[in-house]
Amino acid sequence: MPADEGLSWRKIVVATVVAFFAALGTYAFTVTRDTFERTIVIEDPFPPPEPLSARLLVEGPDPFGGAAFVTSPLVTDPDRTIDDLTREDAIYPAYRQKLGQWSDIATAFHAVRIELRTPLETPVVVTDIVPRILERTEPKHGWYLAEGGCGIGFNAIRKAVVDFDLATPVVDFSSPADGESGTFTLTEDHVEVFEITAWTRDHYVEWVYDFHYTTSEDTGVLTVDRLGIPFKLSSEIGSRGFRPVNSADNPFRRMFHWDTGIESC
């Protein structure tokens, strides 16, 4: 082979190798760049505020400020019995606090007071409040304490009720003053406080409240629960009811006629 011909072949081989590695480098750069762009997300250091925020002010197993009956949580743990309570526990709210450490299931009634706020300069309109059921089954069985009398009367800013024995439970505002239209407008200077009382005689229920709202630019849903834990409620029917009494020998009286439902009168 002539010298100049061999030199030409070497140049071709070298050029081919260089072109190959150049192409490989370009491909590697492209893949690395695309991967970087897919995996690295630069967050906005100043994200816009949420249009609506909620604060759970109070939660209890009964309507506030004068319920017909005040019920304790429903204790379903078989290792906890009425005998674990002392005479001192018969004084309200001592038994409520102790039983609250043993169970988070409300008995017969459940009430919450929720405050809504907006930081936006333009109004936010709450268009609907939905009790979204996560579980609805037969009632839990256990035991509970209750006391009180006839009548009911409590003040609320926005008062509503939920009947979980309906096929499709709704948040029902009881009077026009409380919001017959079901819509509420919030501004920077105007907050809304809702007091929602739920009950059931036929079920055990777990649920959250979904607040549907609109702004000048968007729509959304704000879910209210107990820091990621749903609200819980069970009928008292089938469970053993007790009533605190002023007795040194037997501070808790078994109320057998409550086995088919609490009767306040």
Give the pLDDT confidence score for residue 78 in this predicted structure. 94
The first and second tokens of residue 31, run together, are: 């893949």
Greater model confidence, 253 or 179: 253
Residue 191's SS3 state is coil
Higher pLDDT, 256 or 7: 256
Phi first, then psi: give them for residue 237, nearest 5 degrees.
Answer: -65, 130
Give 59-114 pLDDT, tens digit per residue. 876 555 544 567 889 999 999 999 999 888 887 667 878 898 999 999 998 989 99
User: Which is nearest to 106 in space by CA: 179, 199, 193?
Assistant: 199
pLDDT at 163: 95
Q: What is the mean pLDDT of residues 125-136?
A: 95
C-alpha distances in Å from residue 6, one per residue of 16, 17, 55: 15, 17, 84
- With cut-offs at 50, 70 and 90, classify the pLDDT of residue 8: low
Q: How is residue 34 written in tokens?
A: 């695309």
22 half-sphere exposure, CB direction, 13 A CA radius: 6
For residues 209-247, one letter each, b for 16 or more C-beta atoms within 10 angstroms of the residue's C-beta and e for the rest, the string is: bbbbbeeeeeeeebebbeeeebbbbbbbbebbbbbbeee
Tell me what pLDDT residue 71 has: 84
Distances (CA, A) of 259 to 60, 81, 115, 140, 265: 22, 17, 36, 13, 15
What are the backbone dihedrals phi and psi of residue 205, each rounded to the nearest 5 degrees, phi first?
A: -135, 140
> What pTM did the predictor assign?
0.75
The predicted model gives 146-150 an average pLDDT of: 68
- For tokens 């007071």, the residue is 113
